[in-house]
Chains A and B, each alone.
Chain A
Amino acid sequence: MSNITDTDRYNRLKKTSTIHYNMEVNQVLSEVIDDFPDKLTGMEYFYNKFRPLEEGKSLYPKDKKLIASMCIHVPIEIIYALDATPVRICSGAYSADAAGSDFLPAKICPMVKSTLGAIYLDMLPGNANPDLVINPTTCDQKKKIGEMEEEIGKEFYVLEVPPSKDSEEARQYWQRSVKKMVKKLEKVTGNRLRRRKLKKSIKMVSMAQAEFRRFMRLRKNAPVIFGKDAQLITNAYFFDDIDNWTINLKILNDELEERIKQEVLVVGPRAPRVLLTGSPSIFPNMRTPILVEKLGGIVVYEEFCSSSRMLSDTVAVDEWFLYDMVPAVADRYLKPSTCPNFTPNDDRIRKILLAMKDYKVDGVVYQTFTGCQLYDMESRKIGQELEKAGYPVLNVELDYNPKDSGQLTTRLEAFMESIKDNKRKK
Chain B
Amino acid sequence: MNLINKNMQKIKIKKYINNSNVSRFRFWIQLLSFFLFVYGGYFFIEIGSRLPIFSCPYVEGSPGGCYLIGVQHELHSTWATIFSPRGISILKSLGIFLIFFLFLNKAWCGFVCPLGTLQDWITRLRKMLGFSFVRYGEMSFKRLKSIKYILLFLLILIPLAIKNSFFGLPFLPEGMHTPFCQICPARIILPLFTGDTSQIFVDFTDPATIAMTSLGLIIAALFLVGSFVKKRFFCFFCPMSALQFLFSKIGILRMVKDGDKCTRCGNCSRVCDIGITEIADDVLSKNIVKDDCMMCFKCVEACPEEDALKVKVVNFDIFSATEEGFFKRYGETDDPEHLEKHGLLNSNKEKDE
Contact = CB atoms under 8 A, between A and B. Distances in A.
Interface of A: 166, 168, 200, 203-204, 206-207, 209-210, 213, 217, 243, 246-247, 250, 312-319, 321, 323-324, 327-328, 331-332, 335-336, 347, 350-351, 353-354
Interface-central residue, B265, B271, B323, B341, by most chain A CB under 10 Å: B265
B contact residues, range: 35 or more
B331 A336 contact: no
Given A203-B338, A243-B341, A243-B342, A314 B265 contact: yes
Contacts of A321: 127, 130, 132
Contacts, number: 96
A313 B331 contact: no
B287 interface: no
B71 interface: no
Q: Is the interface of A mostly helix, strand, loop or mixed?
A: helix
A168 B343 CA distance: 42
Nearest to B328: A210
A353 B266 CA distance: 20
B281 A166 contact: yes
Interface in B244-295: 260-268, 270-271, 280-281, 283
A328 B342 contact: no
A297 to B, nearest CB: 26
B345 to A, nearest CB: 13
A327 B323 CA distance: 22
Interface-central residue, B130, B260, B304, by most chain A CB under 10 Å: B304
A216 to B, nearest CB: 10
B64 to A, nearest CB: 32
B331 A347 contact: no
Query: A-B pairs with the 4 shortest C-beta distances?
Result: A206-B331, A336-B265, A316-B267, A323-B132
A246 B331 CA distance: 13
B264 A335 contact: yes
B335 A200 contact: yes
Nearest to B332: A203
Contacts of B264: 335-336, 347
Interface of B: 127, 130, 132-133, 137-138, 260-268, 270-271, 280-281, 283, 298, 302, 304, 323, 326-327, 330-333, 335, 338, 341-343
Given A243-B341, A247-B341, A335-B265, 4 more contacts: A207-B332, A207-B342, A213-B327, A351-B263
Contact of B263 (A217, A250, A327, A336): A336
A314 B330 contact: yes
B270 A331 contact: yes
B137 A210 contact: no
Given A313-B263, A335-B266, A354-B261, A319 B335 contact: no
A347 B259 CA distance: 11
A318 B127 CA distance: 11
B330 A246 contact: no
A124 B302 CA distance: 37
Nearest to B123: A319
B133 A316 contact: no
Nearest to B268: A316
Contacts of A350: 260, 262, 283
A213 to B, nearest CB: 5
A316 B343 contact: no
